[in-house]
Chain A
Amino acid sequence: MSLLEDKVVPGRESRLDACIAYGGTACSLKGENKGCLKNQERAFSQSGLCQLLPTMGMLLTLPDTAVVVHGAIGCAANGISTVIGIRLRNVQKGNPNAKEGIWVSTNLTESDVVHGGEEKLEQTILETYERYSPKSIVVFQTCTPSIIGDDVASVIDRVRDKLDIPVLVAYCEGFKTKVWATGYDVAFHAIVHGFIESDKEGRPPRREPGNKRERPLVNVINLASVGKPDEDEITRLLNAIGIDVTIGPNFANRETIRNMTQADLTISVCPTHDDYFIDYLHKEYGVPYVLKDMPIGLENTRAWLLDIASHFGLENQAKAFIDAEEKKVLQAVAKYTPALSGKTVFLSAGEFRALVTGALFQELGMEVVGVRSYHHDHFGEEYYEKLVKNQNGKNFSIDIANFQPFELTNLLNKIKPDLFIGHVNDNIWAAKLGLPTVTIFRIFDSYIGYQGFYAVAKKAARVLKNFSFNKNLAKHTKNPYKLSWYEKNPFTFIKVQEAALSSEQNLMETQNEKGVAAQ
């Protein structure tokens, strides 16, 4: 199946065999059976995310779009932090008074749970259209209406007949997948079906193959969490070798998104974020793609840029540009490397981002001693080995976890790295252990390309210079675990799946347990 054919987006555990529970080392992961890994669970777990959050994180960025969250009121509480990021992006673009994102909740109550919420949803969509005059509306289906059997698809069909704007639909019930990154796929699915496939004007025609542009035009798939400095750097790198860029679909309007079908190449900045959409553009519009690297760190940026250049015969320009840029940036960071060289680093983020950032720190002379990845899939596979090879075979710990800070805290307490690199929301756990942290995914900073290489080196050296804030924090605050927890293996609660135990058998077992409980 594919984005075009899927009525509802499959969870990444089934589409990509993605796994969220594994503890071991970079070398041990290689030998694991993927079919078993994806079924691994925890007997004790902490709150993850549901797929609604990343879905909303992307779709709320669409300009002049109103989001209707069909569900209990708390599901729409998510918007509060999402709009801060969107507002700051507008500030970055010099537009601090841009219209704030609009989202509403159908606020399903106890009575709606009994009587159904379809009518309420339909009225809400129509009233949202009347009240805010948006250029498009996105409807989110959540757990509660899904369980009580609200037929959202029929409601969408009815309102599409009544409204002259695109109506997008995102099925993002939290209980449907344990891999919240599925939410990215849901957002792409909503965008493609809403703005392209079910659009009133129909889908744009496929571009004539002979219709050659003077300079190639490529799509760069952006992320809601990547800021303007990084987008500017991507544009600079590609423009420098003679390539024009369209950035989307986050923060892009319908026209820009439809035009993405006409590009000469689609470029991923994060394979694990983009593959579902890129595959669609390729299959339906014949747009070739680059989907294997992330331009973070020198080696990765080089590989990414050369790969793109090779599609257009621009390798020579690219090589010359890369050589010049590397030379320049290495000279510039030389003043920071003495403070960094020989230090150990632990990284925590989405798998791909964590791994490529690990390579960046290796290039600064540091050693990777641990990686916590939010999930694992084949996109990350070879990078674990690559990192081990880069540091002369030195293995490192890995924790595949949809957050689960209890494992992270235990692991950090054992490994005691010199520096912690964490996604937003991860750094606090390292901070409370007194470690210096470098945050990644701060939208005002650079991480990508040569600007990013320099900025990260500078920041790491600065943070290491004085982290008394965190050292004091560790002395005076406490993590919420018993001391005995730190003596245990951090992966004690992961229920390791033996091969051949299928998910159907899992269901049977649960059924039996339930039967026993009922007796």
Chain B
Amino acid sequence: MSSNFIEKPRYQCALGGALVTINALNRAVAIVHSAPGCASAADGAAKSGSGYWGTSYCNGRATPSTNILEKEIIFGGESRLAEQIAGTLDIVDADLYAVITGCMTDIIGDDVASIAGRFKAEGKPVVVAETGGFKGNSASGYDLILSALIAQVVERGLEKVSNQINLLGLIPAQDVFWRGNLLELKRILEDVGLQVNTFFSPFDDLASLKTSSQAAVTIVLSDVYGLGAARAFEEIHGIPFVNIPLPIGPTATKEFLEELAKHIAIDQTVLATVVERETAGYYAYLQHVAELYNDLDLQRFAIVVGDANYTYALTRFITDDFGWIPYFVAVTDIIDDADKAKVAERFSLLPPELRPKLIFETDTSRIAVALRAEVADETDEYSSPISPAFVLGSTWDRPLAQEFKAGFLSATYPITNRVVTDQAYAGYRGGLRLATDILSTLISNR
């Protein structure tokens, strides 16, 4: 990573993260207080980069936005914001209106909280968060807006429900498979007797967000995302949280359930039954392609590129369940040293002989440079050490796969070369789906 710049950022700004998070909540609409273009640029990236999430309810160019110009920058944009909120309440049909801000309004210091406060005082469902783009990337925006919702929308004083949990840490669109992943995890967790708040699936509503203070524990499916929101649940609603990484495939999902059982009461017999049933289900399908896998020698050296959640989750799956050799992993997040250490620690749990080279690098072209150097050290006169290779990354890593004559599947943001709707990669069915997608790309020339 350069000290000065980020090449082809694989995320939006804080405003973009907050905006996409709001747009992923059913019947919530954002009111963006910023220059023209901020809203459509930020979520335009997510609309195509997320396997074409596209136009949701009121996103993209429909996003209510003050579109402030020089005039407001000089004289302040508060009256324009008030006018815009009133107009939005008048014609846009939603149950929650989230005022979020961009760089310009944060710099000029508009008092957005007091403007929004006027509408709140009238009983309007308006929340507010300052999300100026320079405050960070999508991950910061996810935390900023969720913390605001947890403080302003989630009800206080509700009694705890001992088997209810909140799932956080999968940022809508940044996790291209967030909808499928949440629903697959919810399916498994309900089968072991839990009530699960996923918030961002197409079948969720704002009611479950409002009563999410009942949860006994928050599970953060990430070592680096969603921690701000989890802390808000803890501080405001007394809900402790635990980090358990996103599980893909039978091995990681079983571990996920066992780890979870340490933090919330789960009947051990039920857990064992569910694990057995789901594992059997996975292999009931997988056995039919096992012949293909062996006859065609579909084991590969793996190169994994993406965010902290996916690089670890994908690497574990291909190592533990899929029998591949992880060779090289690039984590593309903008994260500090403490977070890097947390991610590295996860990888250190892999067996030493299967531990890949791990780098932290935001810039696509530098990932190629690092991999070239790595491979050059080991290349002999017969072949490259990573032949046959496979790249699991974003669409932007396709040239890397071409360079190393590797197979390729896009699985991390941005994905622009395929469409993602209800697919999941998490859990048992997600693992099967990932295996299916990988194998399909390997035989696509047949």
A residues sitting closer than 8 Å to B (CB atoms) are 43-53, 68, 71-81, 84, 97, 100, 102-110, 112-113, 120, 123-124, 127-128, 131-132, 143-144, 147-148, 173-178, 180, 402-403, 405-406, 425, 428-429, 478, 480-485, 488, 493, 506-507, 510-511, 513-514, 517
Contacts and interface: CB of A to CB of B under 8 A. Distances in A.
B61 A48 contact: yes
Interface in B1-38: 2-9, 11-16, 29, 32, 35-38
A78 B40 CA distance: 9
Contact of B134 (A124, A144, A403, A511): A144
B162 interface: no
B6 A105 contact: yes
A44 B134 contact: no
B207 to A, nearest CB: 19
Nearest to A97: B402
Interface stretch (B75-83, B247-255, B311-319, B430-438): B75-83
A147 B107 contact: yes
Contacts of B54: 428
A144 B71 contact: no
Given A107-B334, A110-B134, A480-B93, 13 more contacts: A47-B37, A47-B64, A50-B36, A72-B13, A74-B14, A81-B48, A103-B7, A105-B9, A147-B107, A428-B55, A480-B29, A483-B93, A506-B71
Contacts of B153: none
Interface in B41-76: 41-42, 44-45, 48-49, 54-55, 57-58, 60-76
A81 B133 CA distance: 19
A80 B48 contact: yes
A175 B68 contact: yes
15 contacts: A45-B65, A49-B41, A52-B37, A81-B45, A97-B399, A100-B399, A106-B4, A144-B133, A147-B103, A147-B107, A174-B36, A180-B36, A402-B36, A507-B74, A511-B75
Contacts of A144: 103-104, 107, 133-134
Nearest to B62: A405
A80 B414 contact: yes
Given A108-B134, A175-B69, A43 B41 contact: no
Contacts of A50: 35-38, 41
Given A47-B38, A102-B365, A128-B5, A507 B48 contact: no
B84 A403 contact: no
B88 to A, nearest CB: 6
A221 to B, nearest CB: 24
A52 to B, nearest CB: 6
A72 B133 contact: yes
A175 B73 contact: yes
B121 interface: no
Contacts of A81: 44-45, 48
A57 B16 CA distance: 20
B40 A45 contact: no
A97 B398 CA distance: 10
Contacts, number: 241
Contact of B79 (A47, A174, A514): A514
Contacts of A506: 71
Nearest to A132: B365
Interface residues of B, number: 79
A91 to B, nearest CB: 12
B213 interface: no
A47 B40 contact: yes
A49 B65 CA distance: 11
A74 B35 CA distance: 13
B281 interface: no
A514 B108 CA distance: 13
B61 A403 contact: yes
B280 interface: no
B362 to A, nearest CB: 9
Contacts of B65: 45-48
A507 B36 contact: no
A112 B135 CA distance: 11
Contact of A482 (B35, B79, B91, B134): B91
A209 to B, nearest CB: 44
Interface in B305-347: 334
Nearest to B83: A43
* Most B CB within 10 A of own CB, among A104, A110, A478: A104
Contacts of A425: 60-61
Interface in B249-292: none
Given A52-B37, A104-B8, A506-B71, A74 B92 contact: no
Nearest to B137: A73
Contacts of B41: 49-50, 52-53, 74-75, 77-78
Contacts of B4: 106, 120, 123-124, 127
A72 B71 contact: no
Contacts of B5: 68, 104-107, 120, 124, 127-128
A51 B37 CA distance: 8
B61 A73 contact: no
A72 B132 CA distance: 9
Contact of A44 (B15, B39, B64): B64
B380 interface: no
